[in-house]
Structure 1
Amino acid sequence: MRVSVSACLVGQKCRYDGNHCKRDILDTFLKEHEIIPVCPECLAGFSIPREPIEILDGKVITRSGKDVTSSLEKGVEKALSILKENKIEIVILKSRSPSCGVGFTYDGTFSGCLIQQDGMFARALKKNGFFILQVD
């Protein structure tokens, strides 16, 4: 089975701070599957490291207030294309991310507060019928 995973969860240093958030618990599950890592933020052309982004009133903004919504939308479309081309059956996403978060993301104030909303990529995956798992 082909599984797509948020690239940061499998050790790729693609987070805004230049780090990863590898989850060793995934190693056991994923060793039996073909893995396709994706990072919509990298596919959007965002640098590593980069200014953090959050969703505020439906817009994706940087900490300094720059609207990067259209860039992330392009990254999401590229990621969706990769998943469709590879006939992905399961997608494992990083929690709370403005792109990958399922159910809850940060509220757009850069204060660490969470609100009930999906990240942009998670929303697109749901709309396209993908089966999603989330890892904290």
Structure 2
Amino acid sequence: MERILVSACLMGRRVRYDGGAKTSTDALLAEWREQGRLVPFCPEVEGGLPTPRTAAEIEGGAGGAAVLAGAARVLATDGQDVTGAFLAGAQAALAVAGSFDIKMAILKEGSPSCGALAIYDGTFRGRRLPGQGVTTSLLELHGIKVFTEDHIAEAGDYLRALET
């Protein structure tokens, strides 16, 4: 049975920067949970950041690949450089994925860790632009396909292909 890495906040865990969750009510995700497929994970918490914590964005909206390459930082609204925690969390996610032989993930869109299609632009003004978070970039570099919470049906198609 294929296992799926999933953002812990989507499973109702209160791990987001504001101390909240973004619980998904998707029926397919609930089915996978019952089957024991899901491996909940929060890279920011696992990287050592507290809950709640100051919001953070990738400077200049550069994206996770730039952070991995050392060309951009992840900064909190107070100016604190939290890049190290984001890198540690991404590495921890990759390690967990490796330990379960995970080939796919469903991660929270918009997050500087988990965003798969869009991230915030680094100005803390609520503006999004195309890009990936740090964890998504690292997972995809290692062949793990990342889907957002809005593309679970597509994730289901991918899972069926993996299992045939």
Q: Specify every segment of 5 or more residues in structure 1 that has no aligned partner in the other structure, as ranges.
A: none
Q: What secondary structure, in the 3-state scheme, does the structure 2 residue paired with 1:27 have?
A: helix
The equivalent residue for 1:39 is 42
The equivalent residue for 2:13 is 12
Q: What secondary structure, in the 3-state scheme, does the structure 1 residue paired with 2:38 have?
A: strand
How far has the Cα of 1:33 moved from its partner? 4.3
Distance 1:82 1:29 in 2: 18
Identity %: 35
The equivalent residue for 2:90 is 76
Contact 1:3 1:33 in 2 (8 A): no
How far has the Cα of 1:28 moved from its partner? 3.1
Q: What aligned pairs does 1:95-134 form with structure 2 within 5 A after superposition?
A: 95-134=109-148
| Structure having the larger proportion of residues in strand | 1
| Structure having the larger proportion of residues in helix | 2
The equivalent residue for 1:92 is 106
Distance 1:28 1:121 in 2: 25
Distance 1:107 1:90 in 2: 26
Structure-2-length-normalised TM-score: 0.79
Distance 1:77 1:121 in 2: 8
Contact 2:107 2:149 in 1 (8 A): yes
How far has the Cα of 1:116 moved from its partner? 1.6
Q: Specify every segment of 5 or more residues in structure 2 that has no aligned partner in the other structure, as ranges.
A: 61-71, 151-164
Q: Which runs of 4+ in 1 moved over 6 A?
A: none
| Larger gyration radius, structure 1 or structure 2 | 2
Distance 1:89 1:70 in 2: 25
Distance 1:76 1:89 in 2: 15
Distance 1:29 1:74 in 2: 27
Distance 2:104 2:131 in 1: 21
How many pairs are equivalent? 136
Q: What secondary structure, in the 3-state scheme, does the structure 2 residue paired with 1:92 have?
A: strand
CA RMSD across the alignment: 1.2
